[in-house]
């Protein structure tokens, strides 16, 4: 079973047997028993837990769409750091001072 785990660097990752965890979309179990589909972008080094090879799967970001008035905006959420930002339909940040990432 693939579950969530927090690393020493305070980053949320997917954790599970190397046979179940792969790059791409993986269903991860939560504490309450429900599951969530996560996009795994990188696998960590393999290590053994009770003789079974396990790995960490690093979670990529998700873009969630929210409609506000006439214009569509997106909330981009970075699960690894827990940060998020709002971008407009052209992909430009709308909730923070300009950092130069859009240029």
The series of mean pLDDT values per 10 residues for the chain, 103 residues long, is 90 92 90 89 91 92 52 61 66 62 55
Identify whether the C-beta of residue 86 lies closer than 8 Å to the C-beta of residue 93.
yes
Q: Which residues contact 11 (CB under 8 A, 6 or more apart)?
A: 58, 80, 81
Q: What is the pLDDT of residue 38?
A: 87
Say what the pTM is. 0.58
Q: What is the pLDDT of residue 70?
A: 54
């Amino acid at each position: 079973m693939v579950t969530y785990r927090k690393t020493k660097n305070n980053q949320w990752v997917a954790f599970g047997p190397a046979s179940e965890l792969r790059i791409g979309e993986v269903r991860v179990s939560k504490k309450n028993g429900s599951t969530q589909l996560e996009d795994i972008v990188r696998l960590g080094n393999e290590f053994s837990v009770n003789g079974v090879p396990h790995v960490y799967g690093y979670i990529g970001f998700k873009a969630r769409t929210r409609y506000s008035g006439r214009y569509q905006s997106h909330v981009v959420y970075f699960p690894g750091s827990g940060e998020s930002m709002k971008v407009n339909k052209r992909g430009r940040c709308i909730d923070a001072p300009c950092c130069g990432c859009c240029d």
